[in-house]
């Protein structure tokens, strides 16, 4: 059984009807529980639960401090290619967009790595658009090997691989995988991804399981908020993360909450997720899965990121560029999306200190 099989149990579930009928008593009961089941999770994601956000936030803070202390790990993404074979209508790298395409040379990867490591960053996220032609496994293997010379932790956010592909990159030094399902609604997924390998919904959904079998240390999931009804998307992302935590108990499981940002192309979000709903979701995930890494990226404003620090965040990106090779030469190509917090690493560290927390540049050392 995979997560795809579990998700099918909810395919006919009427989220709108259930959420409309949630009572104050159901919300209060769910808040008081030490261990939440799936329906408790949904109760606390509901609009009704927003009336109890202070109580939920306080509990999220206490759980976070208990399991993680007052520490925030900093990382940065490094984009090495924007060549893509997929037609994802919401993405700046979509094959339909007429943008400058490029792949970094190994020398350019070295150059960017020196700059980012010079910021004090010790954890890097290797990012590509999805083209196994322009960025084949041998290229990615060499990328990881170069990055390991500069960073303690190397995670990847690339096109889905089979188990042997993930094993190849793990043997080269890759520590973790980030992959977003984008939307967990299978019908909508097919409309948004009409061409390319990414159109295979189930193969993408089961990607973390293949990486888990290849013994990846970190597995990070999420939905791209703004493509669909955000409560059902957050619900599925949450139960997906919990499933992975149960199945791969030696791995650190994480979840992200990326909201759609302006990008190339004409796509407009179907729904705008207000800050208050994002805050509620982050707190509720902490109650649902006590020990889970929660990441907030530079998609969000500095003010919001600062306010989220005590509420369950454990990882933040800093000084990010979504352009290919953007640390060495900004403006050389269009980024995947426009970032919202352009603060330097030092400014982000100061922001974390001001909240009484400790910025962490390195959280572990490989044996």
Supply the angle between the helices 106-118 and 137-147 in degrees, to the nearest 10: 30
Separation CA 222–CA 202 (nearest Å): 15
Determine, yes or no, domain membership for 326: yes
Q: Tell which residue, 364, 361, 358, 336, has the closest CA to residue 118.
A: 361
Query: Is 365 among the domain residues?
Result: no
Q: Is residue 201 part of a domain?
A: yes
Whether 115 is covered by a domain: the verdict is yes
pTM for the whole thing?
0.94
Residue 273 maps to a domain: yes
Under-70 pLDDT residues of the chain: 262-268, 270, 331-333, 364-367
Contact yes or no for 264/217 (Cβ under 8 A):
no
- CB atoms under 10 Å from CB of 135, counted, come to 22
Count of domains observed in the chain: 1
Identify whether 367 is part of a domain: no
DSSP state of 313: -
Under 8 Å between Cβ of 84 and 131: yes
Within a domain: residue 366? no
pLDDT at residue 365, as a whole number: 47
- Determine which helix (DSSP H) or strand (DSSP E) holds 289, and give its type and residue range: none
DSSP state for residue 184 in the 8-state scheme:
S
| Residue 160 φ/ψ, nearest 5 degrees | -60, 140
Tokens 């509420």 appear where? 311
Neighbours of 215 (CB within 10 A): 12
342-357 burial: b if 16+ Cβ within 10 Å, else e: ebebeebbebbeeeeb
Dump pLDDT digits (tens) for 6-30. 999 998 899 999 999 999 999 999 9
Residue range of the domain that includes 64: 3-360
**Full DSSP string of 7-63:** HHTTTT--HHHHHHT--HHHHHHHHH-SS--HHHHHHHHSGGGGGGHHHHHHHHHHH
Q: What are the Cα distances from residue 243, in Å, to 1, 221, 234?
A: 11, 11, 14
Asked if residues 316 and 74 have their Cβ atoms less than 8 Å apart, the reply is yes
Scored b (16 or more CB within 10 A) or e, 20-51 reads: eebeeebbeebbeeeebeeebbbbbbbebbee
Q: Report pLDDT for 211.
A: 98
Give the domain CATH number at 123: 3.20.20.70
Model pLDDT for residues 246-294, shown as the tens digit of each residue: 999 999 999 999 998 766 556 667 678 899 999 999 999 999 999 999 9
What tokens appear for 119 in the block? 């910021």
Q: Distance (Å, rounded) from C-alpha 185 to C-alpha 311?
A: 28
Q: Rounded to an integer, what distance in angstroms lies between the CA atom of residue 6 and that of residue 127?
A: 29
SS3 at position 6? helix
């Amino acid at each position: 059984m995979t997560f795809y099989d579990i998700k099918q149990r909810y395919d006919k579930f009427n989220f709108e009807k259930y959420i409309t009928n949630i009572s104050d008593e159901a919300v209060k009961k769910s808040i008081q529980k030490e261990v939440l089941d799936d329906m408790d999770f949904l109760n606390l994601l509901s609009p009704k639960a927003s009336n109890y956000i202070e109580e939920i936030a306080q509990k999220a803070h206490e759980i976070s401090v208990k399991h993680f202390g007052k520490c925030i790990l900093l990382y940065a993404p490094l984009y090495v290619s924007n060549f893509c074979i997929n037609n994802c209508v919401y993405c700046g790298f979509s094959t339909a967009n007429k943008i400058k395409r490029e792949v970094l040379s190994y020398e350019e990867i070295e150059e960017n790595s020196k700059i980012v490591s010079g910021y004090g960053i010790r954890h890097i996220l290797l990012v590509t658009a999805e083209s196994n032609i322009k960025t084949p496994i041998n290229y990615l293997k060499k990328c990881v090997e170069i990055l390991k010379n500069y960073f303690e932790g190397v995670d990847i956010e690339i096109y889905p691989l089979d188990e042997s592909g993930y094993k190849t990159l793990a043997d080269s030094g890759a520590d973790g995988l980030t992959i977003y399902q984008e939307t967990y609604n299978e019908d909508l997924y097919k409309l948004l991804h009409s061409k390319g390998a990414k159109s295979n919904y189930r193969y993408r959904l089961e990607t973390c399981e293949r990486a888990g079998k290849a013994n990846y240390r970190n597995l990070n999931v999420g939905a791209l908020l703004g493509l669909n009804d955000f409560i059902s998307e957050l619900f599925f992302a949450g139960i997906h993360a919990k499933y992975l935590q149960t199945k791969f108990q030696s791995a650190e499981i994480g979840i992200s909450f990326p909201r759609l940002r302006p990008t190339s192309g004409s796509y407009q979000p179907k729904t705008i997720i207000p800050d208050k709903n994002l805050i509620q979701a982050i707190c509720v995930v902490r109650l649902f899965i006590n020990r889970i890494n929660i990441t907030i990226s530079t998609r969000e404003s500095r003010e919001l990121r600062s306010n989220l620090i005590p509420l369950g965040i454990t990882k933040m990106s800093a000084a990010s560029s979504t352009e290919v090779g953007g640390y060495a030469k900004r403006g050389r190509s269009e980024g995947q999306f426009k970032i919202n917090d352009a603060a330097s690493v030092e400014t982000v560290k100061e922001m974390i200190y001001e909240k009484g927390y400790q910025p962490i540049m390195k959280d572990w050392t490989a044996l």
